[in-house]
Amino acid sequence: QVKPWGGKCTDVLSPVYCTETGERICIGRQATMSPKDSVDAVDAAVKAWGRGRGDWPRRTLEQRIAAVETLVGRLKAKRAEIVASLQWEICKNDADAAKEFDRTMDFVVSLINCARGTDSAAMVCEEGVHALLKRSPVGVMMNLGPSNYPFNETYATLIPALIMGNTVVMKVPNTGGLAHCLTMEAYAECFPAGVVNFVSGRGRDTMPPCMETGLIDIFAFIGSSKAADSLVKAHPQPHRLKNLLSLDAKNLAVVLPDADLDLAAKECLAGSTSYNGQRCTAIKLIMVHKSVAEAFNTKFCAAVKGLAAGVPFGKNSITPLASSTTEYMTQLTEDAKGKGATVLNDAEGGGHCDRTLFFPAVLYPVTAKMDLWHAEQFGPVVPIAPYDTISEPIAWMENMHFGQQSAIFTASGAAAAPSRDLTELLDACAMNTCRVNINAQCQRGPDAYPFAGRRSSAMGTISVSEVLRATSVETMVAGKS
Ligand code: G3H
């Protein structure tokens, strides 16, 4: 139970139902801050920044790293509690919840190593002008992470901002926020007052007032494009914001006629159903060449049949939904069925739900008339469409307003001369998305690699080196000899 501001609190309910009462289980309380509370948090961050003359920005890189390392030690001591909170609140299974914590800690270590390698101020001389180049902090960051990776993706921008000397207002996600509540004491012990300021409560009440102050310099947001747009617009001088955004996606997997169908089915299964498809990187549409569609669908449905569903404690792959709703999954499924698609795995429970559990629905053939063709489902509904010529998946990608990742399944890549279809498709994937996965599912990791997107999917790149750059500016002292 957490009540850091002594004000109003809201019960946090797990998507898991109690077998005895038949009710969702209350797993904690989270503060419901007012607009004024959140503006106070901005003021505290601005004060700690002190126009770059506050205690934190004036510390050396090594001193800041030392504070972050102490924080890491404190967090590791709470690993079991944080992992358990991810299981109860966002229903990640044992392996996924542990992975979220561990990869976050690894990312922090990589950030520290990279910052140490790049901090040393460089003396340069161009055209007789000597300059001492140095990376300096930017100011105050507003940081918001998503409900599906509340810990990992918040830290992906929060920790680099701290290492580089910025101060932060951190909005605790409404879903997945308890993990952060468990860390607040550690932050208070490791950082000077005002350096990290938690804001908790309804986003629409707390976030616009923070942006309206005009005192936010960096906007680090991982979540929906719609929310990001409206918050950027709330800033009186949006052009002044440094944006670091990772937003919606609709990643396409294309199965070429020469693909290894067992491998394609296995990777597409992991890509579309792991953590119930509640990943921005999930495969959200599969296009299969019509000559192999039936064979692929059979293998894919057999693989879906093997997925275990139930509580998030243990190895179940399908767990209660936390970021999406079963209503939305049902709505998308019914829309597709009404327009001619079939739930291929209907007999095995595909598309059936039990309160917050939704067993993956495999829909075929999905066409442009259906919502699933365009909309990001962010959940366990798998649309499959047959294609005839390679121009069809290429046209889909070129017309999609998102552009994060893509996947291609083919044996042709290993041939001395790749097929013409593969060459064209590769070009289109490279120009319309930021990561092309060959014979593999879409995914963010390894986290040191760039994580980016085109169009409405992202702005800026999240990778070890790029986030350190994005949270700092290159400054110099120059003079003539
Ligand atoms: O939801 C977006 C995450 O960055 C996905 O990460 O591909 O490792 O699951 P992941």
pTM of the model: 0.96
pLDDT per position as a tens digit, 188-205: 999 999 999 999 999 999
Cβ–ligand 1 contact at 280 (below 6 Å)? yes
pLDDT per position as a tens digit, 336-392: 999 999 999 999 999 999 999 999 999 999 999 999 999 999 999 999 999 999 999
Query: In Å, how far are 140, 408, 451 from 461, measured between CA atoms?
Result: 19, 23, 6
Band of pLDDT at residue 480, cut at 50, 70 and 90: confident
Cβ–ligand 1 contact at 148 (below 6 Å)? yes
Q: Is a pLDDT exceeding 80 seen at residue 183? A: yes
State how far the Cα of 117 lies from the Cα of 59, in Å rounded to an integer.
Answer: 18
Nearest atom, ligand 1, residue 146 CA: 1
Cβ–ligand 1 contact at 457 (below 6 Å)? no
The DSSP 8-state label assigned to residue 246 in this structure reads: E
ipTM above 0.95, yes or no: yes
The bridge status of strand 251-255 relative to strand 283-289 is: parallel
The DSSP 8-state label assigned to residue 18 in this structure reads: P
State how far the Cα of 136 lies from the Cα of 119, in Å rounded to an integer.
Answer: 10
Ligand 1 pocket test, pick from 248, 444, 447 with the greatest ligand atom count within 8 Å of Cβ, gives 444
Ligand 1 centroid–CA 444 distance in Å is 5
- Contact between 210 and 232 under an 8 Å Cβ cutoff? The reply is no
For residue 118, the model assigns a pLDDT of 79
Q: Is a pLDDT exceeding 50 seen at residue 3? A: no
For residue 264, the model assigns a pLDDT of 98
State how far the Cα of 354 lies from the Cα of 360, in Å rounded to an integer.
Answer: 12
pLDDT per position as a tens digit, 258-276: 999 999 999 999 999 999 9
Q: What is the CA radius of gyration of the chain?
A: 24
Closest CA to 288 of 340, 253, 337, 263: 253
Ligand 1 pocket test, pick from 149, 245, 434 with the greatest ligand atom count within 8 Å of Cβ, gives 149
For residue 117, the model assigns a pLDDT of 85
State how far the Cα of 149 lies from the Cα of 102, in Å rounded to an integer.
Answer: 12
pLDDT per position as a tens digit, 305-334: 999 999 999 999 999 999 899 999 999 999
Q: Which two tokens stand for residue 309?
A: 């569903």
Band of pLDDT at residue 415, cut at 50, 70 and 90: low
Q: Is a pLDDT exceeding 80 seen at residue 80? A: yes
For residue 87, the model assigns a pLDDT of 98
Band of pLDDT at residue 416, cut at 50, 70 and 90: low
Cβ–ligand 1 contact at 445 (below 6 Å)? yes
Band of pLDDT at residue 412, cut at 50, 70 and 90: confident
